[in-house]
């Protein structure tokens, strides 16, 4: 521990974001460049905890508490404080293949369980992590390190999101010949097309993919397994297959008017917007889809926030975000004690931008959508909503409409951001994989092997919709078990 009294002397100061009214004018990342001396000071706030909960990675009340990949957080905080950035990078990479992703998009359950957070604002763990990896790339410390010894085994990884990339990286380190199949035209999965530029610039993703390519991983794009390439062909041609296809089946909203022009799944909007930006032309009708329109986002969470932020950059006329759950408290309540993830009210970047432009948080809580309203041409013109209250019946809570609360709000665009139901069916059906009661591919955590020998599953495809950091956890662990299956033993962590 560098400075025993650092947590007393210094206040929390994360890497600041650019002002909302400035950043909505472009698609660059919202964060300011980190200032090294200020990051060093923040590292000094890390306490010499007897039990550092920040890297426990356990589930409490169905939420992550601490880092799911067990990052050695106190160690690299201390190294940063001492100015030993290269050593800090080495410690960070011991557990995390892609800190440049988690340092930008992870909600930081580590900070929610920081011991200092019991009495003071927690350590700026996420900012320090991002600063370490960015300095590593800037200094040229990250260079290709292909394995010195190659095995004769071939492994196919299906899907190039965080789980697939983590599995591929680890299996390549073990010396296997790894081929990653991606159905989109670029590698990265949700990192490329599901998370917008202002949270994760695509050059950051491509930088890591280029490094992995130089280390010997073979990436193949525009190939959809189960459609234009049979899944059975992979099991025949490869010694093992790791499925990391995500939970990409969106939850729909079965109300009248759903098929009106202007009602879309959130991920369609985000994906086509990023495609248009990457191609540097108006390649899709979505690139300026929200310009001058009243936009309604149905659902909260990161995807909903990303729709808000994207619509703000398009220049929407107004923005509303409908939440069926109640507004969280400003501080932890008694039923949400530390070290659980703090379920408290906060403005994410998209809501902060909307408030800066329109004067208020765009979220409306305890609201339900009853009907999409169309004009004579079949286009969306508004949404009929109502207030709800949660009532308990037979031990279960259900939303009940508040009588007399029905009202119409204007909307020419509506985005459904209500989460995902599970993986798509084609691969599971072709390989006859067992599924659980949520339609996820059945594979026990810790083993990751499916009902078909030699076929493994990891990430959202196995556990359901979750965090990027959990996907990395599962990709790493599935690679370890795949390596054990291939070689009889494994040295992977």
pLDDT at 387: 98
Tens digit of each residue's pLDDT (9 = 90 or more) over 54-77: 999 998 988 889 999 999 999 999
**C-alpha to C-alpha distance for 343 and 332, rounded to whole angstroms:** 7
Instruction: Please report, in angstroms and rounded to a whole number, the separation of the first and last CA atoms in the chain.
Output: 26
Residue 192's pLDDT band, with cuts at 50, 70 and 90, is very high
Q: Residues 126-151: pLDDT tens digits?
A: 999 999 999 999 999 999 999 999 99
Per-residue pLDDT, 188: 98
What structural domains and CATH numbers belong to the chain?
6-138 (1.10.1060.10), 154-248+421-487 (3.50.50.60), 252-418 (3.50.50.60)
Taking alpha carbons only, the member of 475, 430, 474 closest to residue 452 is 430
For residue 294, report the phi and psi dihedrals to the nearest 5 degrees.
-85, 120
Q: Mean of the pLDDT values across residues 461-484?
A: 97
Locate 323 and state its tokens. 């939440």
Q: What is the pLDDT of residue 49?
A: 87
How far is it, in rounded angstroms, from Cα 420 to Cα 466?
10
How would residue 153 be classed by pLDDT, with cut points 50, 70 and 90?
very high
Output the average pLDDT for the chain: 95
> What whole-number distance in Å separates Cα of residue 229 and Cα of residue 479?
23
- When mean pLDDT is compared across 88-97, 150-159, 183-192, 390-399, the lowest value belongs to 390-399
Q: Kindly indicate the confidence band of residue 3, based on its pLDDT and cuts at 50, 70 and 90.
A: confident
**% of the chain residues with pLDDT over 70:** 98
pTM of the model: 0.95
Q: In this model, does residue 426 exceed pLDDT 80?
A: yes
How many C-beta atoms lie closer than 10 Å to residue 292's C-beta? 10
Total residues belonging to the chain: 493
């Amino acid at each position: 521990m560098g400075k025993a009294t650092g947590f007393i002397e210094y206040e929390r100061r994360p890497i600041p974001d650019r002002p909302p009214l400035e950043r909505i004018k472009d698609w660059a990342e919202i964060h300011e460049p980190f200032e090294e001396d200020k990051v060093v000071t923040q590292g000094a706030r890390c306490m010499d905890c007897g039990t550092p909960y920040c890297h426990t990675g356990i589930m409490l009340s169905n939420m992550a508490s601490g880092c799911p990949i067990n990052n050695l957080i106190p160690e690299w905080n201390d190294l940063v404080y001492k100015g030993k950035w290269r050593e800090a990078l080495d410690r960070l990479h011991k557990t995390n293949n892609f800190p440049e992703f988690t340092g930008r998009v992870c909600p930081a359950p580590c900070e929610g369980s920081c011991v200092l957070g019991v009495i003071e604002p927690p350590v700026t763990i996420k900012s320090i992590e991002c600063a370490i990896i960015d300095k590593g790339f800037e200094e040229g410390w990250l260079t290709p390190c292909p394995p010195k010894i190659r095995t004769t085994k071939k492994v196919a990884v299906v899907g190039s999101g965080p789980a697939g990339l983590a599995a591929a990286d680890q299996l390549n380190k073990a010396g296997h010949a790894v081929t990653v199949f991606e159905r989109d035209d670029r590698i990265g999965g949700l990192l490329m097309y599901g998370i917008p530029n202002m949270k994760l610039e695509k050059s950051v993703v491509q930088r890591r993919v280029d490094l992995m390519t130089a280390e010997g991983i073979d990436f193949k794009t525009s190939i959809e397994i189960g459609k234009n390439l049979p899944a059975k062909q992979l099991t025949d041609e490869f010694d093992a297959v790791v499925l990391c296809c995500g939970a990409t089946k969106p939850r729909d909203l079965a109300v009248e008017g759903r098929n009106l022009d202007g009602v879309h799944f959130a991920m369609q909007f985000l994906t086509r917007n990023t495609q248009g930006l990457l191609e540097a032309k108006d390649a899709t009708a979505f690139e300026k889809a929200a310009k001058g329109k009243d936009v309604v986002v149905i659902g909260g969470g990161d995807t909903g926030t990303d729709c808000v932020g994207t619509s703000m950059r398009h220049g929407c006329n107004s923005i509303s975000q409908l939440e069926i759950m109640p507004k969280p408290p400003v501080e932890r309540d008694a039923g949400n004690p530390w070290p659980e993830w703090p379920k408290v009210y906060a403005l994410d970047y998209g809501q902060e931008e909307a408030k800066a432009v329109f004067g208020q948080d765009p979220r409306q809580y305890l609201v339900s959508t009853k009907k999409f309203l169309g004009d004579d041409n079949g286009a969306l013109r508004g949404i009929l909503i109502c207030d709800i209250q949660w009532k308990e019946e037979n031990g279960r809570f259900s939303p009940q409409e508040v009588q007399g609360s029905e009202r119409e709000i204007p909307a020419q665009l509506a985005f459904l951001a209500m989460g995902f139901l599970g993986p798509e069916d084609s691969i599971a059906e072709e390989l006859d994989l067992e599924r659980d009661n949520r339609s996820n591919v059945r594979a026990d955590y810790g083993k990751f092997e499916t009902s078909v020998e030699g076929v493994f599953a990891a990430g959202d495809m196995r556990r359901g919709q979750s965090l990027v950091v959990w996907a990395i956890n599962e990709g790493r662990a599935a690679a370890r078990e795949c390596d054990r299956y291939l070689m009889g033993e494994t040295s992977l962590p």
